[in-house]
């Protein structure tokens, strides 16, 4: 098995072109690399795969000139682009099913190499909640841990400020050059100089609602555990907690007054089995026995699976089992009686054709009208 390695400039452009091409999500990207061995060969194969999945118009491949421009923009911002096969890419993040194949970072990669704990919570947090999050982050930092959060108002900002001196990581929903919320311009600049700012989206991307769940799965994927400090019942922090559970991370929550709506989500998490924490020592004890998160495979730049021979009726059998409601891929395998590589290939073709949507928990659905 090949070791993780630094990509050449040409390989990094191939990765960027593949990751930015139409309908190539993180799971499709990984499967393409596993099938074709490298991003360049996968790019060459995209048009035929999309056509076999039922796409009428040619798939749009990301222009190489645009990839070169994105690399230049990131460098001008004082950052660099990391591929998930490279040594500096956080191994815990690379291990999740839908790891972003490409991230932009500004700051020190040594902070990313630390053991990370996520602290997230309400944007409209109370003064006590912000003080607790800041103190928790500071104490975790003094214990040798780094803190990751989402640079939002309230709890996130407090956690970053508490861990700025010891190691903090901000995952932003937009591009590396976009400050959101605007009042965190100074904080984002300080984190880029003393910690790390991470963006999955290209420079110039304004954060939209659909970007935040994608950001949240990076926050939880980086960490060995997620601590939630104040969250309403429909809070985005609860999405992060759910994603953490799906990724096998420890979920922790700070209890609060039942009369405060900002604590109803955290209290619910505790009722559902999240670990109740009241101090940094509780967090350290909770993650103390958690083994380091390691990749099952050391590198994505090698062939894992030979192309599957697709039976004549395979695509029809898989499509008949799909609908607008998400279904687990394991359930598809049980019902269609086809080999796993065949089903994965058919789903990949449908996704590249723009006809399939992937959901958390290895579930898929057919897009309406396709």
Q: What is the Cα–Cα distance from 282 to 49, expressed in whole angstroms? A: 50
| Out of 2-6, 55-59, 337-341, 354-358, least confident range | 2-6
Q: What is the mean pLDDT of residues 40-49?
A: 96
In this prediction, residue 291 carries a pLDDT of 60
Backbone angles phi, psi at 225, to 5 degrees: -155, 155
Q: 201 to each of 17, 101, 204, 287, how far by Cα in Å?
A: 13, 11, 8, 30
User: Do residues 233 and 260 lie in contact, with contact meaning Cβ atoms separated by under 8 Å?
Assistant: no
CA angle 88–8–63, rounded 5-degree value? 105
Q: What is the pLDDT of residues 131-159, one digit of tens each?
A: 999 999 999 999 999 999 999 999 999 99
Per-residue pLDDT tens over the stretch 169-190? 999 999 999 999 999 999 999 9
Distance, in Å, from the CA atom of 195 to the CA atom of 353, rounded to the nearest integer, reads 40
Q: What would the DSSP string read from start to end of 101-162?
A: SEEEEEE-HHHHTS-EEEEEE-TT--HHHHHHHHHHHHHHHHTT-EEEE---TTHHHHHHHH
**pTM of structure:** 0.92
Check pLDDT > 80 for residue 92: yes
Domain 106-288 grouped into CATH 3.40.50.450: yes
314-366 folds as Arc Repressor Mutant, subunit A (1.10.10)
Q: What is the pLDDT of residues 209-232, one digit of tens each?
A: 999 999 999 999 999 999 999 999
For position 290, what pLDDT does the model report? 64
User: What is the pLDDT, as a whole number, of residue 296?
Assistant: 52
Please check the confidence at residue 36 and state whether its pLDDT lies above 90.
yes
| CA-to-CA separations, 82 to 68, 169, 175, 220, 332, in angstroms, rounded | 14, 15, 14, 19, 34
Q: Average the pLDDT over 58-71 and give the result.
A: 97
Q: In percent, how much of the chain has pLDDT > 70?
A: 93
DSSP track, 14-43? HHHHHHHSTT--HHHHHHHHHHHSSHHHHH
Q: Is the pLDDT of residue 299 over 90?
A: no
* The predicted structure's pLDDT at residue 288: 84
Q: With a cut of 80, say whether residue 2 has pLDDT above it.
A: no
* pLDDT at residue number 360: 84
Q: What are 316-368's pLDDT values in tens digits? A: 999 999 999 999 999 999 999 999 999 999 999 999 999 999 998 899 999 97
* 295 HSE (CA, 13 A, CB side): 18
What's the chain's average pLDDT? 92
Look at residue 302 in the predicted model and tell me its pLDDT: 41
DSSP for residue 219: H
pLDDT band for position 311 (cuts 50, 70, 90): confident
Task: Establish whether domains 106-288 and 314-366 are of one fold.
Answer: no
Task: Tell whether the model's pLDDT for residue 303 goes beyond 50.
Answer: no
Position 123 pLDDT exceeds 60: yes
Q: What are the boundaries of each domain within the chain?
A: 106-288, 314-366
């Amino acid at each position: 098995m090949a070791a993780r390695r630094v990509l050449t400039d040409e390989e990094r452009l191939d990765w960027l072109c593949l990751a930015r091409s139409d309908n190539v999500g993180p799971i499709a990207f990984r499967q393409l690399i596993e099938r074709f061995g490298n991003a360049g060969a996968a790019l060459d194969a995209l048009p035929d795969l999309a056509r076999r999945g039922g796409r009428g118009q040619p798939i749009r491949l990301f222009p190489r000139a645009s990839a070169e421009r994105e690399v230049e923009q990131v460098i001008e911002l004082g950052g660099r682009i990391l591929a998930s096969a490279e040594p500096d890419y956080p191994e815990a993040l690379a291990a999740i099913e839908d790891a972003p194949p490409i991230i932009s970072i500004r700051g020190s990669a040594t902070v990313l190499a630390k053991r990370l704990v996520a602290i997230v919570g309400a944007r409209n947090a109370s003064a006590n909640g912000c003080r607790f999050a800041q103190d928790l982050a500071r104490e975790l930092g003094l214990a040798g841990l780094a803190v990751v959060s989402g640079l939002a108002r309230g709890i996130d900002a407090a956690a970053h400020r508490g861990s700025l001196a010891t190691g903090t990581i901000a995952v932003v929903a937009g591009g590396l050059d976009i400050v959101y919320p605007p009042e965190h311009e100074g904080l984002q600049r300080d984190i880029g100089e003393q910690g790390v700012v991470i963006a999955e989206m290209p420079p110039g991307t304004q954060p939209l609602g659909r970007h935040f769940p994608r950001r949240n799965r990076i926050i939880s994927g980086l960490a060995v555990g997620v601590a939630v400090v104040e969250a309403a019942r429909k809070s985005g922090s609860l999405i992060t907690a759910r994603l953490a559970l799906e990724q096998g991370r420890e979920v922790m929550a700070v209890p609060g007054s039942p009369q405060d709506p900002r604590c109803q989500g955290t209290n619910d998490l505790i009722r559902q089995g999240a670990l109740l924490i009241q101090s940094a020592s509780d967090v350290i004890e909770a993650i103390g026995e958690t083994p380091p998160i390691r990749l099952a495979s050391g590198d994505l730049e090698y062939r894992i699976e030979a192309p599957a021979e697709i039976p004549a009726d395979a695509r029809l059998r898989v499509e008949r089992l799909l609908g607008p409601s998400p279904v687990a891929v394991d359930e598809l395998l049980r019902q269609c009686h086809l080999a796993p590589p065949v089903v994965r290939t058919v789903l990949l073709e449908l996704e590249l054709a723009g006809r399939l949507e992937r959901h958390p928990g290895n579930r898929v659905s057919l897009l309406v009208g396709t």
